[in-house]
Each structure stands twice: as structure tokens, then as C-alpha cells.
Structure 1
Amino acid sequence: MPNVLAGVSRLDPERIRHVASPVIELGCALHVLAEPRHHGRVEWAASVRLPDSLRQELAHWTWTVRAVRARCFATSAATGMPSWQDELDALRSRSPEDLAADLIRPMRGRPSKTSAIDADAVRRWARSRGPVVGELVEALLTDPAEPVRRFLDLLDACWSEWFQDVWEQSRDALAARGRQDRDLAIRDGISAMLCSLDGSVEVRDKDSVLVQKVQNKRIDLAERSLLLVPSNYIAPHLFLGEVPGEPLTVIYPAEGRGNAVPTARQVLSRLDALAATDRLKMCRAVASEPRTAGEIAGLWGLHPTQVTRHLRALTRAGLVTAERQGRFVAYRLNEDALSNLGTDLLDLVMR
């Protein structure tokens, strides 16, 4: 169930941009502040000192930096390393109505190919997040000037109270990483570059790559441009931002590829193989020493054919290994595969 990025061989490298965007990076950092545990950054989040009033205002806008993000946190018209003031001025130059429409993007559900807004659906999604968010989104829909001003003031407050120091320490390295990745696409090809970004990406064929996620989706890169955005706060996610009329945004960990992410098929096959009590018995039987199917059948009072069938299913899933000893086949538990199953599942879901 991966995402397929197709048309790789037909994407002109000249249509690849990179940006070290302070606004996008702020969005990534705010996401971590809201959900530090699955990023492994609980201590970092606790170290961020913010005034109570700012923290309360951030809580009202957290929905803009969740899985689906407000447009300003998901794409950028800039290239290279724009300044904070440049990006904020660009947002302030837009009409409240346009910016409000971009802010409510997360309330529209899954990414859409159209910019049209179903106001009733947006209201329904907003109300499900509580009365404060419901009222805020209602104002964005009906009288956006004031809530848009609040949002822009919030960004400015984050910058002055905290994020300016964070950005100044990291911007040069992020810009260098983006340039490096674009140069890699020109030198070694777009597939090689995409695979270098994250362990969830692998080559499918000469014209496409796979991104291991739990959604099924096909994105044709030949029909659009590509925006590369390295981030110090996106891991363990690999963010694919689909904004109508904009390049596909890839926000990826600046530290590099990391470990390979298992496929959904691999994880599901292992979960399915364990979804029977007798197969758990098989795992226990071969956990401490290799055993044959006949020996297990005798020890556990099961029919040998049934035991063999279960062991073969566990072997196909990679949870048990088989080793021939003369005319016998001995089975042993693959402890690493079993102990990593929870981590593998979490890695896949979090991508």
C-alpha cells in the first residue's frame, strides 16, 4: 500500500527547487511541540520556554500543523534561503480571504485536486476538534480579517520569543542540504536523489519510486514540479505535500536516509501470521531451541500436518527460520523480526 511517485524519468531536473524555509520549519517544530512523543523529543519540547499566553494561543492553532497542514506550512514560492521577514511579508500581502482559505486546508480532509471549499464539511471537521477551534474556523469562513491577523501575530510572536535563535543555528546547514540534493538529482538522477532522502523511499522501476506509507496513492511527477525542503523536525515522517497548482513538496529529515522502512505488505504478513493462537504456540515451541514439526506436534498434542502448515506460514512471514538437518527440517524463532515488529509497524504508520 505505498505511494507511487511516477514519471521520475520524465521530470526535468530544472523543475526541481529547494528551499530552507523558516515558516515551513516553524510548522514542523510546532508539530513536534504538539506531539513530541512519537518524535522522540519529549525533553526538547519541555526545554522550549514560552509565555503562557503564547502557549495557549498555539493550542488554538495546532490543527494547522497536524498530518494535513495549512498551505504556508506545506509549500513555498521561494528558492534557496528566504528570510523570515520576506516570508512573513509575503503572507501579510495576501488578502484575508485568500489566506483564510489556505489556513483551513487541514479541515478539508484528504488532499484534493481542487481549491474549492465545502464550507459545511469544514465546519463539521472543525466542530469535532472542540468549540474553540469551531469558533475560530467559523470566523475564518465568515469574517477572516481578525483571525488572519491573530495567526500572523502568532507567527511573529513565535519568531521573537523562541524560533529566531533556532533558525539562525540551522538555516545554513538546511540550505546546504537542499542544494546538495538538487545537485544529486542532476548528477545521478532523480530516483537516486529521492532514495537518498529517507529510508521509506525505494526504486520501483526506471520511471517510478515507492514511498512506504499506509495510503495507496499515485502521484505523477511528470505533470508537476518538485520542491525539496530539508527539516530538522520532520522525522520520523516524510511529508508529501499536495497543494493544487503547486509543486509536490517533499519535507524530509535533514540528517539523511536512516534505516529502511518495511513495506506494508511485510508488516501485514507478519501480523496475519501471528493472528492465530496455534501459531503463537509454534513461536513459543521454537523460541529456546530449534525443533522439527514432528517434535512440536508431540509436545503440544497437535496434528503434524497442522503444525507444518503453521510453521510454513511463519517462515514465509520471516518470523521463523528453517534449517535442514539431514532429512529433518528444524525451525527456530527469528527473535529480531518478532521484537522489531512493533517498531516496524510504528515506522510505517508514522511515515
Structure 2
Amino acid sequence: MGVQIDITGLPQERIVFGPSPLAELSAALHVLSEPAHHPGAHGWVTTTAAALKPDLQSRLVEAEFLWRSTRSDILLPRRPMPSATLAQELDELDQLDDQTFVDAALEINTAGCELRTAGGRSPLVDAAARDAALERASARGPRQRDFAHHLLTDPGGVRAWIRRLLEDCEQAFFADAWERVRPQLAADAREKTDLLRHRSLGDALRAVSPAVALEEDPRGRRITVDTLAHARTDAVQPGVEPGLTFVPTAFGRPHLIVRHAPGWRPVVEYPVATAELRPGPGTSELMEKRLTALAHPARIRLCWALARAPYTTTELAKGFGMTAAEVSRHLKALRQAEMLTTRRHGRYVQYQLDVTVVARLGSDFLESILR
């Protein structure tokens, strides 16, 4: 599982870190659409939503599938280093040809379905391909059907409508939000850049997230982003400026967004670490180990004791009528799930449940599947 980004042969200077106002605006719009994913932003959501004018609220509802369940490729930066202002990034979006823009907008609108017919014909020029795209959009609901119809009949008009919508969001609430979070995002990008330049790519990736890792073997080098999605892309593609862009986000936690569509520069949007936020949930594999470790009734009983006081293997075996070997196997499963702390007293080792880890299990599970 996860998204693999092949970086074989990519010069290290082609890997860049930088904040993107366009990406941060789309993350903020996702928070407004799915506030349950972001309980820490409840106050901001309440205040911002209450201040939105009805017309803007209505237009946001029309377009929310572009950022609600996943992120459209057009809402992540195009340039290797994201531009400083939203206007500049929207100008770069305007430079896309109609075919590229329509393909990206339709892809999110039809839940990742293939957009071209078997002959590779475009829905902009081929009636059969257009009918197929509209049928797939209709299966997603009337709002998506209407959007796809307008996009295919008037792509320029839809592009202008989306730009006006994002500009109105900037004026209504995002300019203030961006001014507040931009220094933090810029500082985080500088920190990761320094790690990349003065230490190693692996160190920089570990600082990004425990869910991002570098893999190297005789076949090449890959960056793996641990998500429940499964995909791969290349940082070196024909017709695309080679490289990989990492974009920090304050609004995006807990999500890790990866743009991996062919023909687009790969982008990884990652949540920044703040003093107010605890560490993330770790990898999906670690979450599976924790859930599996707690699925055994004997381990639940051991946890009952270990949550209250530290015990040795012998003490637990006597207290629960088990052999020392049985207790050791159960403790091993809990240790591998990183749910125990240990203390050594001479030749004795005492184990205790790490209650902070267990207390976070529900929220960690939610974060790992939302990532």
C-alpha cells in the first residue's frame, strides 16, 4: 500500500520545499467542507462559515467535490517552487491548455475513472467520449453532472468561474488566514531544505512525516508515502520538468496529499508539526500491529494489569495462571506494537502499558485512515 515516487537519477537539487497559497486555500476549503476531519479547527470553521455571504456559500457547495473527499490536481502548484501569491499561482493555472485542465477537472469529478475511450479520443472533440464522461459524472450526482456538462461545453467559462471563486475566497477569509500561517510554513520549508542540503534526503523525509520514507536498492531510489491509496509516479517524466515538490500545510492535518497523475510534477502536501499538536500516528503497519495486539483476549487481561502497575513476566504468569513462555509471546506482540514501556531492576525487567499511546488509539486510527 502507499504511493511510490520514483526518484532514480533525479539530482537532489530538484527536490524542493515551499509553501503554496493555492494548496493552502484548497486545504482550508476542505476543512470547511469536512470539519469532522479537523476537530482542532472547530473555532476557525465556526467563525469563518458564519461570516460567508450566502452567494459565496452556494458557489462553494457547487464546487466542493474539487476538494472535499480528495484534492483535484489543479489545486496543487504547477511550478517546481510554488509562487508567493495566490494570483501568481492562478495565473500559472490559466496557462494550462484546455485539454489538460479538462482532464484534471473531470478526473476528480468521475472518481478517478479513465476519461479517454479505448482509442484515446478526448471528450472535448469526440461525442462518444463526451457521452461516456457525462454518464460517469451523472453517477456521482446531479451537481457533478452539471459541472461536467458546463466544463465540456464551455471550458474557458468554467476556468474563469473557478478562478473568480478562489479569488472571492481569498478576499472573504483566506488572505487573513494566509498571513497568519505563512511564516510558520515558510520556516518549516527552510528547516526541511537545510536538512536536505546539510544532512541527507532521508533525514529530511523523516522530518516531514513518519509516513514518508526513502527506499534504495539496485533497482533505483523511491520515496514511499504510507497511505491507504496505492499508486506510483515518476519524478522524471517526458514533457514534464523533472523534480518533486513538498508543500507544508497548516490546515491540512492529518492528511498527506500526493499528486501522482501522469503528466504532472509530483507534489506531496504534508502537515507541519506545531507545539500544539502531538506527533502523528506513525505508519499504517504500526496501527495494524496495535489493533492486532489488542484483538487477543489474553492481552486485554494483561493490559488491565499493566495499565495499573509495572510487572515482570513471572509475576504476570503467576497472576493470570499462564506459563512464562505464553506471557512472553503476548508481551512481545505488545512491544512490537510500541505499547509498552520497560524498566530494568538488576536481572528483572518490568513492563507497563504506555497509557498515552492507548489513549490516542482511536484518534490515531482515524488519522491514519484519513491520511
Please give the TM-score of this superposition, normalised by the length of structure 2: 0.74
Deviations 1:107-163 (A, max 9, x none): 354598999787677556644543223322233245444443432221222122222
Structure 2 residues without counterparts, runs of 5 or longer: 124-128
CA deviation after TM superposition for structure 1 residue 58, in Å:
0.4
Structure 1 equivalent of residue 103 of structure 2: 101
- Residues 20/209 of structure 1: CA separation in 2 closer, same or farther (3 Å cut): closer
More off after superposition, 317-326 vs 208-217: 317-326
Q: Output the aligned Cα RMSD.
A: 4.0
Amino acid of the structure 1 residue aligned with 2:105:
L
Matched, 1:293 2:317: yes
Give the whole-Å Cα distance in 2 for the aligned partners of 1:304 and 1:182: 50
**2:261 alignment partner, SS class:** coil
Structure 2 equivalent of residue 186 of structure 1: 197
Identity of aligned residues (%): 29
- Residues 107/327 of structure 1: CA separation in 2 closer, same or farther (3 Å cut): same
CA deviation after TM superposition for structure 1 residue 317, in Å:
3.9
**2:295 alignment partner, SS class:** coil
Give the whole-Å Cα distance in 2 for the aligned partners of 1:186 and 1:234: 26
**1:100 alignment partner, SS class:** helix
Give the whole-Å Cα distance in 2 for the aligned partners of 1:51 and 1:7: 45
For 1:213, which of 205, 224, 227 is the aligned residue? 227
Structure 2 equivalent of residue 249 of structure 1: 267
Structure 1 equivalent of residue 66 of structure 2: 64
- Residues 100/276 of structure 1: CA separation in 2 closer, same or farther (3 Å cut): same
CA deviation after TM superposition for structure 1 residue 322, in Å:
7.8
- Residues 113/327 of structure 1: CA separation in 2 closer, same or farther (3 Å cut): farther
**1:214 alignment partner, SS class:** coil
Give the whole-Å Cα distance in 2 for the aligned partners of 1:330 and 1:181: 39
Give the whole-Å Cα distance in 2 for the aligned partners of 1:322 and 1:187: 35
Give the whole-Å Cα distance in 2 for the aligned partners of 1:329 and 1:199: 29
**1:228 alignment partner, SS class:** strand
Structure 1 residues without counterparts, runs of 5 or longer: none
Do the aligned residues in 1 keep the contact of 2:78 with 2:92 (CA within 8 Å)? no
**1:159 alignment partner, SS class:** helix
For 1:132, which of 138, 143, 146 is the aligned residue? 143
- Residues 80/294 of structure 1: CA separation in 2 closer, same or farther (3 Å cut): closer
Do the aligned residues in 1 keep the contact of 2:210 with 2:283 (CA within 8 Å)? no
Do the aligned residues in 1 keep the contact of 2:106 with 2:115 (CA within 8 Å)? no
Do the aligned residues in 2 keep the contact of 1:97 with 1:145 (CA within 8 Å)? no
CA deviation after TM superposition for structure 1 residue 343, in Å:
3.1
Give the whole-Å Cα distance in 2 for the aligned partners of 1:98 and 1:280: 54
Which structure 2 residues correspond to residues 251-290 of structure 1 after superposition, within 5 A?
251-255=269-273, 259=279, 261-289=281-309, 290=311
CA deviation after TM superposition for structure 1 residue 222, in Å:
6.0
Amino acid of the structure 1 residue aligned with 2:148:
V
Give the whole-Å Cα distance in 2 for the aligned partners of 1:156 and 1:334: 48
Give the whole-Å Cα distance in 2 for the aligned partners of 1:27 and 1:79: 18
Do the aligned residues in 2 keep the contact of 1:199 with 1:258 (CA within 8 Å)? no
Matched, 1:198 2:194: no
**1:153 alignment partner, SS class:** helix
**2:103 alignment partner, SS class:** helix
CA deviation after TM superposition for structure 1 residue 26, in Å:
1.2
CA deviation after TM superposition for structure 1 residue 41, in Å:
0.4
Give the whole-Å Cα distance in 1 for the aligned partners of 2:197 and 2:212: 18
Please give the TM-score of this superposition, normalised by the length of structure 1: 0.78
Structure 2 equivalent of residue 26 of structure 1: 25
Do the aligned residues in 2 keep the contact of 1:293 with 1:308 (CA within 8 Å)? no
Give the whole-Å Cα distance in 2 for the aligned partners of 1:170 and 1:335: 33
Deviations 1:196-225 (A, max 9, x none): 223433455584554332345555546641
Do the aligned residues in 2 keep the contact of 1:194 with 1:201 (CA within 8 Å)? yes
**1:41 alignment partner, SS class:** helix
